Amino acid sequence: MTEPLRLSKRMSELGLCSRREADEWIARGWVRVDGKVVSELGSKVLPSQKITVERQAAAEQSKRVTVLINKPVGYVSGQAEDGYKPAVTLVSPENRWADDPSPERFHPTQLRSLVPAGRLDIDSVGLLVLTQDGRIAKQLIGEDTSIEKEYLVRVQYTKPGRLPDAELRKLNHGLWMDGKPLLPAKVSWQNDDQLRFVLKEGKKRQIRRMCDMVGLKVIGLKRVRIGRVKLGDLPPGQWRYLRPDEQF
């Protein structure tokens, strides 16, 4: 017999919402299992049972915004630390990109629970996603995400000559980190001092650590794409809304 699962976990697995949203909806009486309202947190269901949500939940979810920022150096992705500001402080009417095609109007409530879906360290720049939508967060940073992230990385070889081809092959596949093999990556030269990295995982400071292992020092790192969404012409320090027709 199949084991029962927590209702919130099952809703997240089905892609209906994040676990946090699920708990909120259950508490509000917006979730039905086999047609019956279930409002007790921690309730369990069998995988065969049918879960439906009320229209209010879908309406609430559709109001949640996702924002793309071109993060400059000196901002942290998440919580403020060591006197550095979090990237969310850039989301203000003054910093909105003048060419943002979205008809969405800015409202301060959009800053509520607007959290980073993935991170860029303080010295890195480029595309950072902040979202109120648990489905997008799960898609980008969930355990089983397979969404590509593309980076342009300016490097300096710390040994004489050029980086040997064998070391470049190691960057593509063959390095270990934190006791585990890294997933295959796509790493190629863009020009004499710049590499293009395409990764499907995002360990802390992963690219800097990978480069370090083969004798490369990272001079600059910029994320230019997440899935099918590109940084494009968005200027540094500015932001825009994710358009309804854009999918990661």
Annotated catalytic sites, by residue? 121
Query: Can you give the length of the chain in residues?
Result: 248
Quick check: 158 and 144 in contact, CB under 8 A?
A: no
Structure tokens, 41 = 């947190």
Alpha helices in the chain (DSSP H): 7-13, 19-27, 55-62, 134-141, 165-172, 206-213
40/28 Cα distance (integer angstroms)? 10
Residues 6+ apart with CB under 8 A from 55: none
The alpha-carbon radius of gyration of the chain (Å, integer) is 21
Among 142, 117, 112, 152, CA closest to 131: 117
DSSP conformational letter for 92 = S
- For residue 142, the 8-state DSSP code is S
Strand ranges (E), the chain: 5-6, 31-33, 36-37, 44-45, 51-53, 66-71, 75-76, 85-86, 115-116, 125-131, 149-157, 176-177, 180-181, 186-191, 194-199, 216-226, 229-230, 239-241
